[in-house]
Amino acid sequence: MNDRPIGVFDSGLGGLTVLKEIIGLLPGESVVYFGDCGRAPYGIKSPETIRRYTFQNTRFFIETGVKLLVIACNTSSAHAYGPVSAALDFPVVEVIRPGSAAAVRATKNKKIGVIGTAATITSRVYERVIAEMDPSIEVYSKACPLFVPIAEEGPDWWAHEAARIIAGEYLADLRETGIDCLVLGCTHYPLLEEVIRGAAGGGITLISSARAVAAEVRCALDSRGLRAAAEPVKNTGPVESTGPVKNTGPADNAAPPKVSLYTSDSPERFRTLCGSILGATDGADVYTLDIEKYESRLP
């Protein structure tokens, strides 16, 4: 039993797609979420900058006293999961392996498409991880950098005609490859699912890692006896979407479970956008975090 919170971070809103699944699967757990909107997007930055941001975010969560950290960002997972998990004495869950495993299970013709940020795609991490799981699978990848700023603009843009045109341009080549599933290799992309699905064309299964990551978190907690004491029994059922965020304060390890939201940019804008993804956030306190004050080296 352990009532300390789970830490989850992303460059901005994308990780909320993962947070939503975690809350749905593990409603008895307190969660601290950090969306680094002030420094997003990560995916067009250098590996050095991505690592520096990721290490600073990690430092924040160490100080917060989390029991498990979720890197709900493919870009950070691609460039910094190794050093982060090696430096911490609590479990770290990343988003690339769970999404890859779901795609390997889903593909029938052994042709998988992967879309992600420029930094994720150029790292070729998906090719490596999928080859470890099944070397006979062909992977076709494509960077789609404009999807992140569109997602960060909020729900009015997620199914906008402009998003549709951009998705059509990005996915034209992938459509020719004969892939039967497409990994949304950026946690922002599920927000644009409708336009991505339209541009990908029929017969292609979209794979979001969010649900698989939540299952991985549950497994990591269970295997170490880290579940919160007040975990309701219904958690063992299928993952459904979550209710409103009931959260009201900074992490202080107190029951009942709560969700605390931090951002490095305007808290008001963040609150509104979080509400679009998680449900109502009226009662939630959203905190501004001065992330640059945290050390950029791991302990």
Q: Give the footprint of ligand DGL on this chain (CB under 6 A).
A: 10-11, 14, 40-43, 73-75, 117, 120, 148, 186-188
Q: Kindly tell me which of 100 and 117 has the beta carbon lying closer to ligand DGL.
A: 117
Q: Kindly tell me which of 14 and 257 has the beta carbon lying closer to ligand DGL.
A: 14
Catalytic residue among 73, 144, 181, 274: 73
CA distances (Å), origin 294, targets 10, 55, 74, 201, 234: 16, 9, 22, 44, 38
| Nearest approach, Cβ of residue 236 and ligand DGL (Å) | 28
Catalytic residue among 37, 181, 186, 274: 186
Q: Kindly tell me which of 14 and 91 has the beta carbon lying closer to ligand DGL.
A: 14
Give the nearest residue (CB) to ligand DGL.
Answer: 43
Q: Kindly tell me which of 78 and 104 has the beta carbon lying closer to ligand DGL.
A: 78
Residues in the chain: 299
Q: Kindly tell me which of 190 and 257 has the beta carbon lying closer to ligand DGL.
A: 190
| Nearest approach, Cβ of residue 57 and ligand DGL (Å) | 12
Question: What string of H, E and C letters represents the secondary structure of the chain?
Answer: CCCCCEEEEECCCCHHHHHHHHHHHCCCCCEEEEECCCCCCCCCCCHHHHHHHHHHHHHHHHHHCCCEEEECCHHHHHHHHHHHHHHCCCCEECCHHHHHHHHHHHCCCCEEEEEECHHHHHHCHHHHHHHHHCCCCEEEEEECCCHHHHHHCCHHHHCCHHHHHHHHHHHHHHHCCCCCEEEECCCCHHHHHHHHHHHHCCCCEEEECHHHHHHHHHHHHHHCCCCCCCCCHHHHCCCCCCCCCCCCCCCCCCCCCCEEEEECCCHHHHHHHHHHHHCCCCCCCEEECCHHHCCCCCC
Of 85, 76, 81, 64, the residue nearest 14 (C-alpha): 76
| Nearest approach, Cβ of residue 248 and ligand DGL (Å) | 26
Residue 73 annotated among the catalytic residues of the structure: yes
Q: Kindly tell me which of 30 and 117 has the beta carbon lying closer to ligand DGL.
A: 117
Q: Which residues are catalytic?
A: 73, 186
